[in-house]
Amino acid sequence: MVSIDVWNAAVDFPIFDAKSRSLKKAVLGKAGGTIGTDSRVPIIEALRDITLSLQHGDRVGLVGHNGAGKSTLLRLLAGIYEPTRGSARIIGRVAPVFDLGVGMDPEISGYENIIIRGLFLGMTRKQMEKRVDDIAEFSELGNYLSMPLRTYSTGMRVRLALGVVTSIDPEILLLDEGIGAVDAAFLDKARDRLNDLVKRSGLLVFASHSDEFLMELCNTAIWMDHGQMKMRGSLREVLTAYKGRDPFQDMSAATLQRLGLADTPVLPNGDPAS
Amino acid sequence: MHPPNVIDRPVTPGASSSRSWSRAFGDIRDGFNSRQLWAHLGWQDIKQRYRRSVLGPLWITVGMGVTALGLGLLYSVIFPVKVSTFLPYVTVGFIVWNFVDGCLREGLDTFIANEGLIKHLPSPLSVYILRTVWRQTLLFLHNMVVYVIVAAIFFTSIDHPYSMLLNNGGTMHPGLSWMMLTAIPAFVLIAANGAWVAMLLGIISTRYRDIPQVINAVIQLLFYGTPIVWSLDTVNGASKVAKTVLQLNPLYHLVQVLRAPLIGQNPTWTSWCVVVAMAVVGWALALVAMKNYRARVPYWV
């Protein structure tokens, strides 16, 4: 069963500068007696008191201003940062899409990059070769897949990255805001595929500043502020509190229909009334 | 459509501390299992270095060939030795040293160089260790082409008992034989040593950025202090004390276990024991470092 449980977790970054990182201070400090005894490394509390539990089927949006800890929380959920205090338990195969440049080689073809990306996500070469056609079809990159990656636009890279992570049946999908570079038509397609994936096997956490994307992909949300969870609840509830207005308010009936919200009377907290 | 409290407080605290042996061993096990990943990354590193050059990775071989030939000739003029036996000696010494030196230098840098990947993708840390050691292994294999050529040219001078000195004095070496096959376990042992060095010093260097500088400063000295471009046979005049001191250089033993069988010499049992002991003690230290600081590396890079 896919799940992420985080218990009172904190992520503290030690800030090393040339002085505190070097051995000189550590060694000479001891040898020299009193001088430099106060060489404590300053610490940034990037996250604190994070307690949450995510289950199969959750589609969680992360909102919050720059530096609120959204990306750090995603990396905590990915298992990259193990909490400095508290604990985290991640059960399921994690597929993060954070920085699109990392782990991709600009000099080799899109096709080769698909394979590498897959290897990083724990697949084998053979398994990835089977999925190449599917990824090519989904990403609509066509012949571009045989071109070196440096010829790709940002949006094309996002398509490639999303194609890979959605093709490998990940259980925990973590998306950072970078995926905002794709066009509306592709987003539609991606949404169906992502929703499908979450329904089938997993959970999704998505950090974004775009209401539109959040509404397309998520049903619940967490509002991060100063490294803490300021609020959690349904997407509508959280977005209303965060933005100061209800983003679903001005939506056309067609959009609501598409998001599956139309014709269902909705309470202010986002719950269906029935 | 909107289930209210999906983000509940977990009932029980999550997994145990990140400083556990099981997680450290788990990391190493997962690292080995991602064989295709590190094998690919290591090979890609080499291809990238020689991209768009005509010879490609063959340049590694050519570079080693030039160095070995030049130094072999130069030093056989300086020392009273036979070119036909000294040139293979220098060549193999250089190839082995390159591997040891590469594992040490690039091992220190393992995590620092992979900062981006460590921060963006949740993969075991040992993947990066294996990537580094595998890259060095591939370089080593490229360089071995030079050994094969040199050994073929001078085969007739080293296939029987020989002395490296012009006056045929000094130590007599038994010459090439099936003992050559011991080079394989020797290489595995050296690679195992390279891996723990990368793991232990990689973690320390990530935290203390002066360590790579210190070691880079010392390593050049170690090169001259290790019999590679000179031979113990040529320092017959040296005092017993000097020879004893040389025995204390662990790099001498590392180089010796692999070099000796390849050029028909006999490594001493002391050398084998030292190399095995280094691997055991080193891995023990590296595992302790892995247990205690594995989870800190993403914070430190």
Domains parsed from chain A with CATH numbers: 3-92+171-258 (3.40.50.300)
Radius of gyration of chain A (CA): 21
Q: Please tell me if residue B299 touches chain A, with a CB cutoff of 8 Å.
A: yes
Residue A91 in 3-state DSSP? Answer: strand
Its ipTM equals 0.81
Q: Please tell me if residue A125 touches chain B, with a CB cutoff of 8 Å.
A: yes
Instruction: Report the pLDDT value the prediction gives residue A165, as an integer from 0 to 100.
Output: 86
- In degrees and rounded to multiples of 5, residue A60 shows phi and psi of -105, 130
Contact B7 A271 (CB under 8 A): no
Q: Please tell me if residue B10 touches chain A, with a CB cutoff of 8 Å.
A: yes
**Which strand (E) or helix (H) includes residue A63?**
strand A59-63
Distance from CA of B18 to the nearest CA of A (A): 7
Nearest CA in chain B to A106: B48
Please state, rounded to an integer, the average pLDDT across all residues of chain A: 81
Residues of B numbered 109-168 whose beta carbons fall under 8 angstroms of chain A's beta carbons: which are they? 116-123
> Of B1, B14, B121, which is closest to A87 when you measure between CB atoms?
B14
| Cβ neighbours for B157, distance < 8 A, ≥ 6 positions apart | B82, B84, B85
| Strands A43-55 vs A94-97: parallel, antiparallel or unpaired | unpaired
Mean per-residue pLDDT pooled into runs of 10, chain B (301 residues): 43 60 91 92 88 85 90 86 89 94 93 90 92 95 93 89 80 86 95 96 92 91 87 72 80 93 90 96 96 92 87
How far is the CA of A249 from the CAs of A240, B16, B128, in angstroms? 10, 45, 50
A93 neighbors B37 (Cβ within 8 angstroms)? no
d(CA B259, CA B68): 14
Residues of B numbered 82-111 whose beta carbons fall under 8 angstroms of chain A's beta carbons: which are they? none
Q: Please tell me if residue A106 touches chain B, with a CB cutoff of 8 Å.
A: no
pLDDT digits (tens, 9 = 90+) for A152-203: 888 888 888 888 888 888 889 898 877 767 787 888 888 888 888 888 768 8
pLDDT digits (tens, 9 = 90+) for B230-282: 887 777 666 677 777 778 888 999 999 999 999 999 888 999 999 999 999 99
pLDDT digits (tens, 9 = 90+) for A111-127: 888 988 888 888 889 99
